[in-house]
Amino acid sequence: MFGFFSIQHYHTSLKEGKVTCLQAVEHYISQIQAKQHLNAFVNVFAEEAISTAKRLDDKRKQGADIGKLHGVVIGLKDVIAYKDHPLTASSGILKGFTSLYSATAVQKLLAEEAIIIGNSNCDEFAMGSTNENSVYGKVLNAIDETKIPGGSSGGSAVAVQADLCMVSLGSDTGGSVRQPADFCGIIGLKPTYGRISRHGLIAYASSFDQIGIFGKSIRDVALILEVVSGKDAYDSTVSQQPAPAYSSLLSDKGKYRVAYFDEALNHPSLDPEISRSIKGLLKRLETRGHQVKVASFDLIDHIVPAYYVLTTAEASSNLSRYDGVKFGIRANQPKPELLEMYKATRSEGFGKEVKRRIMLGTFVLSAGYYDAYFTRAQKVRKLLFDQIQLIFNDFDFIFLPTSPSTAFKIGEKMEDPIAMYLADIYTVMANLAGIPAISLPLFKHTNGMPFGMQVLSSHFNELALLRLSNQLMQQLND
């Protein structure tokens, strides 16, 4: 019986001949079939994965050097391009579309001999916090199938949670990796904006989007990060800084300066049990020699409005390309006029939430409201950036909740988009500032659901972030 514990353990087992890549792939294919009702995957590349596994097994038997991700089975969110494979952003408007190229991150995975098992379900165009906004239907939380898995990368989170793959990639525009990781009881990392190339990632809000990583161990997440990070000629926003060998540099026992916000931990939206658990952890860290202090932060009630003004504005521009001319569906309509075809295609192809955000974004960019909304939101973003920079002059990390609550019932907030948007209160900060953040599965609620804690660090300080995360996860297992 195949069992996965970590990439390092898996590679040791491969080298000792205790398991093969083929056995691993066959295990995951059977798991996906057995748990198909969770709806985590929208496409499974079974034959291709089996063929790749056999080729890698043959290569290893011949004594050749193996890649860092040799035989590692990975899921891709359905917004990340993989050449000659379906790519739909879980939207009807891209029905039948096949990607013409691979994302740079995918190319790097394949270069290190990873096996892509399939495309995972998500909220349409990564717009949503519950994975209920998908043309393929909702994704179920494997811990409690009456609950949402979080979104928009819910399929990627459940794929790791339910042991349908070893690790997975998602995208994080305002918490779409960290929040589902929180609800599913796994690790979710959003790196610094520009740490991973966005080439091949379908754009939602270009100045916020970042590819993120799901896993069950810090070392696995660190290894994926070191592989997919780095410069890329196809992305002018990507950092030119070389990525450290994160996975081999985690054994640090240093003491750190940790900040927290009273405004966050005592916010009326936060579940009292989540607040108590994080406060308790902060006290334990202090007793272990870390410096833990409150930091002043007065923008918490402004960041969600600023985030949704800016992201919807960018979305209204980015999604204008889906018009039925070059790719995706084209609506049949009696009138031959081009404008009518545009309107019919977009009305038919986009779902309710995507239409809502396109209309909101178009409104805030309109001539009469641009200064009142878009310009003011940009000012809030600059104020937030400056405040965060000042905090990191005195502290190494900021601790926050990941979500105000544990995973809630399917359908509970679908009729109240404002309540849904406000649930992003703790995650959007990292995207507005462009800093790295990770959600760690440290706690379990009395309602039986897991919940995590979010740790934020300064720009391109992922190594320290992963080191502290490794400490916290090890303490959890002590």
- What is the DSSP code string of 67-132? -TTTT-EEEEETTB--TTSB--TT-GGGTT-B-SS--HHHHHHHHTT-EEEEEEP-SGGG--SSS-
Q: What is the pLDDT along the chain (478 residues), one digit of tens a residue?
A: 799 999 999 999 999 999 999 999 999 999 999 999 999 999 999 999 999 999 999 999 999 999 999 999 999 999 999 999 999 999 999 999 999 999 999 999 999 999 999 999 999 999 999 999 999 999 999 999 999 999 999 999 999 999 999 999 999 999 999 999 999 999 999 999 999 999 999 999 999 999 999 999 999 999 999 999 999 999 999 999 889 999 999 998 889 999 999 999 999 999 999 999 999 999 999 999 999 999 999 999 999 999 999 999 999 999 999 998 888 899 887 777 888 899 999 999 999 999 999 999 999 999 999 999 999 999 999 999 999 999 999 999 999 999 999 999 999 988 888 888 888 999 999 999 999 999 999 999 999 999 999 999 999 999 999 999 999 999 866 5
Beta bridge partners of 439: 188, 454
Inter-residue contact 289 to 174 (CB < 8 Å): no
Quick check: pTM over 0.95?
yes
Is 231 contained in some domain?
yes
Question: What is the pLDDT, as a whole number, of residue 422?
Answer: 85
Inter-residue contact 183 to 156 (CB < 8 Å): no
Is 164 contained in some domain?
yes
Determine the Cα–Cα distance for residues 284 and 10; give it in Å rounded to an integer: 34
Question: What is the pLDDT, as a whole number, of residue 477?
Answer: 62
Question: What is the pLDDT, as a whole number, of residue 476?
Answer: 67
Is 112 contained in some domain?
yes
How many structural domains comprise the chain?
A: 1
Is 232 contained in some domain?
yes
Domain that holds residue 90: 7-248
The CATH number assigned to the domain holding 58 equals 3.90.1300.10
Question: What is the pLDDT, as a whole number, of residue 407?
Answer: 97
Pairing between β-strand 187-190 and β-strand 211-215 as defined by DSSP bridges: antiparallel
Determine the Cα–Cα distance for residues 351 and 196; give it in Å rounded to an integer: 29
Is 73 contained in some domain?
yes
Is 66 contained in some domain?
yes
Inter-residue contact 106 to 81 (CB < 8 Å): yes
Tell me the catalytic residues: 77, 152, 176
Q: Which residues contact 295 (CB under 8 A, 6 or more apart)?
A: 259, 260, 261, 391, 394, 395, 398
Is 42 contained in some domain?
yes
Is 137 contained in some domain?
yes
